[in-house]
Amino acid sequence: MSFETLDFLLERSLTGKKMVLAVAAPQGEDILEAVAAARDKGVISPLLFGDRKKMEKIAAELSIDLASFDIVDEPNEAKAAELAVRTVSSGKADLLMKGNVKTATLLKAVLDKEWGLRSGALLSHVFLFEIPKLGRVLSMTDGGMSMYPDLKTKQGIIENAVDCYHKLGVECPKVAVLAAVEVVNQDMPCTIDAAVLTQMNRRGQIKGCIVDGPLALDNAVSEESAKHKGIVSEVAGKADILVVPDIEAGNLLGKAMLYLAGGRGAGVIIGARKPIVLTSRFDTAETKLLSIALGAVLAKA
């Protein structure tokens, strides 16, 4: 099962109960525009925690009517993040969104031992993307949380992404563990990790998916490239999930997809008790809208 475009997220998000979204510090043009669009489309009901004056000023410039929005006026970003997280943790909201607040500030609230959203699992970022040339949706992980993951962390990253795909209805996603080359090289530690993760999957230590690696990006997404290099694999050329070796590779790959390849994307943090919509402050309103839809779909699963 595969998806041709990210529009399936908007369609899925409209089924069942409407999710309540708590937004921490939404005083940004693209953020307010995306939240307003998500509300107008029926994707979510928003709760905004932030600087009311700044929100009203931005909303006026965008011709957005905030009269019907539930707003908690809290100019302090750390306090706004705390209030938003507490609202999700208490069950009054179904998912959380990072607004114009530092990621570290939001995560400090998320990881609070008393009232945060800890689940005991690893937190990782999954980024779904749609590239016109490919004609289908893929995902990349982890370009937003784990900086230089070791083997155990990579296992957790894969398991989170696989769980995400299961919730999207894909029973057995194909996972490509990326490297610069498709052979094991003792001088390139990420290729060794990829081979070990592949073996762990074959022995049932990583379940619910098919893992293969190391694979270079070209032979992970292109069957022609895989065939040209003589790679025989259930994953090569057909990968659903791309696992990058570190945050630098993930950051570069994600931005290349959006800014150079003209793609669309949607990103969330998973592994917490509820989904966390997390995008870059420079991401477009459309990316933020699709990310909200992804978070809403996962929150319902």
pLDDT (tens digit per residue) in 144-198: 889 999 999 999 999 999 999 999 999 999 999 999 999 999 999 999 999 999 9
Please give the Cα distance from 63 to 39 (Å, whole number). Answer: 15
Classify 124-260 by CATH class. Answer: alpha beta
Looking at residue 293, its amino acid is A
- The confidence band for 1, taking pLDDT boundaries of 50, 70 and 90, is low
Looking at residue 67, its amino acid is A
Q: What pLDDT is stored for residue 244 in this prediction? A: 97
Cα 78–Cα 54–Cα 41 angle in degrees, nearest 5: 95
pLDDT (tens digit per residue) in 81-135: 999 999 999 999 999 999 999 999 999 999 999 999 988 889 999 999 998 888 8
From 3.30.70.660, 3.40.50.10950, 3.40.228.10, 3.90.950.10, which CATH number describes the 7-119+272-300 domain?
3.40.50.10950
pLDDT (tens digit per residue) in 206-252: 999 999 999 999 999 999 999 999 998 999 999 999 999 999 999 99
Cα 265–Cα 268–Cα 272 angle in degrees, nearest 5: 170
What DSSP string describes 150-193? -HHHHHHHHHHHHHHHHHTT-SS-EEEEE-SSSS--TT-HHHHH
Q: At what angle do helices 29-40 and 285-300 cross, to 10 degrees?
A: 50
Answer whether 216's CB lies under 8 Å from 182's CB.
yes
Instruction: Locate CATH 3.40.718.10 in the chain.
Output: 124-260
What residues contact residue 9 under an 8 Å CB cut-off, 6+ apart? Answer: 128, 266, 290, 293, 294, 297
Strand 136-141 versus strand 210-215 pairing type: unpaired
Instruction: Locate CATH 3.40.50.10950 in the chain.
Output: 7-119+272-300
